Structure 1
């Protein structure tokens, strides 16, 4: 099963980074029907074919995801979109 592992440094306060990930999660729920749940400082997300976590650290955001067979061919495109969004919000 293909996986994604991306880290992006940030200089936001903990509350700012957490709030930003909350907004990203709202868009994921709206646009992709993803279920999300905070587990301490990590946002777990899931929908058929993909599951993962977004960890909010003091100086970095860490995104991990496991892709099912349906999304395997789209791994490059999915990674590119995650990187673009992280650059947009945390650059």
Structure 2
């Protein structure tokens, strides 16, 4: 298993950042079959081989993901893709 942790600062405020995380979750659901559920300001996500969470704060967003055996071999590519999608989602 492999761990991915990414943190980004933002100046969007909590509500806007939460809305953008929600839009990102919808895209992940459509594109990759990821199941998402909000628990407060934390978005839990999962699919076979991947579990994680997106913690949305007033000025930071943190993504933590655990990759199963199959996806561990692709961890650097997956981390890069998450960084790219997160940076795009947090653009003002």
Query: Would the aligned equivalents of 2:35 and 2:45 in 1 still touch at CA under 8 Å?
Result: yes
TM-score (norm 1): 0.95
Structure 1 outlier segments of 4+, above 4 Å: none
Give structure 1 stretches of 5+ with no counterpart.
Answer: none
- Cα deviations by residue, 1:27-57 (Å, 9 ceiling, x for unpaired): 0111111111001110000000000000001
Query: Would the aligned equivalents of 2:4 and 2:79 in 1 still touch at CA under 8 Å?
Result: yes
1:67 is aligned to: 67
TM-score (norm 2): 0.94
Give structure 2 stretches of 5+ with no counterpart.
Answer: none
Question: Aligned partners of 2:35, 2:83: CA distance in 1, in Å?
Answer: 21
Question: Aligned partners of 2:4, 2:30: CA distance in 1, in Å?
Answer: 22
Question: Aligned partners of 1:26, 1:2: CA distance in 2, in Å?
Answer: 24
2:8 is aligned to: 8
2:30 is aligned to: 30
